[in-house]
Amino acid sequence: SQELEQSPQSLIVQEGKNLTINCTSSKTLYGLYWYKQKYGEGLIFLMMLQKGGEEKSHEKITAKLDEKKQQSSLHITASQPSHAGIYLCGAGGYGGATNKLIFGTGTLLAVQP
Amino acid sequence: DTGVSQNPRHKITKRGQNVTFRCDPISEHNRLYWYRQTLGQGPEFLTYFQNEAQLEKSRLLSDRFSAERPKGSFSTLEIQRTEQGDSAMYLCASSLARAGGRTDTQYFGPGTRLTVL
């Protein structure tokens, strides 16, 4: 079965610092989704990557997909307190007509002012 | 607000009682998903609808769980004879999928937090 491992499990950074979160899959990635979750709330969609080598950016967040390594990375530049939360990667595209997502366990990010 | 909405946001119930949750997807989204999330874990897939048809159910969905999407719009998830192990966040997501599409983007609701005493 598909498994996703995220690293690190948790991260504390000083405001203004850069950081990277990794998501590694045990199988070939067809669609890789990044979401952000505040504690006790729903998931907010950030980006979706499909093609090997694809890179997308939104404001100060950049995500890349390395198809060969079956890995995706999420990079935040000049972190701000508003970036704090749980970052989840999800893999989809495996179930035929069903795009059920398999999620990693998440990375908890804290940003110290 | 035209996002996915879920009601109630919180539910506390006693073991053995039945509970029902509602999800209203983004209008015109043809796919609707239910996930369950426990503390410290990522969401786990429960079931999926394409319009009104329930096309897949996870093994996590025991016979005490039932989901419906009667008119292809809102959906309900019912848990009968609740157990303490059912305590979790129940998340609903919706998407607009094209024919043959395998990578539709799912937009999540705020979730319903269930506590079974």
Reported as a single tens digit per residue, the pLDDT across B72-103 is 899 999 999 999 999 999 999 999 987 666 66
Q: List CB contacts of B80: < 8 A, sequence separation 6 or more.
A: B18, B64, B65, B66
- Mean pLDDT, rounded, for A59-80: 93
Residue A55's closest CA among A64, A42, A47, A46?
A: A64
Per-residue pLDDT, B100: 62
| Minimal Cβ distance to A42: which of B48, B58, B109 | B109
Cβ pair B78, B20 in contact under 8 A: yes
Neighbours of B77 (CB within 10 A): 22
pLDDT tens string A88-99: 999 986 655 567
Nearest Cβ partner for B103 among A93, A104, A106: A93
How far is B24 from B112, CA to CA, in rounded Å? 12
Provide the 10 A C-beta neighbour count for residue A2.
15
Q: Using a CB-CB distance cutoff of 8 angstroms, which residues of chain B are in contact with residue A103?
A: 42-44
Residues in chain B: 117
The answer, yes or no, to whether residue A2 has pLDDT greater than 70, is no
pLDDT for B92 equals 98
Q: Residue B63: what pLDDT?
A: 92
CA distance A23 to chain B (A): 13
Distance from CA of A3 to the nearest CA of B (A): 11
Inter-chain CB proximity B48 and A100 less than 8 Å: yes
A41-56 tens-digit pLDDT: 999 999 999 877 889 9
Encoded tokens for A107? 């990375």
**Chain A residues with beta carbon closer than 8 angstroms to that of B89:** 40
> Does A31 contact B103 at a Cβ distance shorter than 8 Å?
yes
State residue B1's pLDDT score.
55
**Subunit contact A48:B103, Cβ cutoff 8 A:** yes
pLDDT of residue A98: 63
Per-residue confidence of chain B (117 residues) as pLDDT tens digits?
Answer: 579 999 999 999 999 999 999 999 999 899 999 999 999 999 999 999 999 999 889 988 889 999 999 988 999 999 999 999 999 999 999 999 876 666 689 999 999 999 999
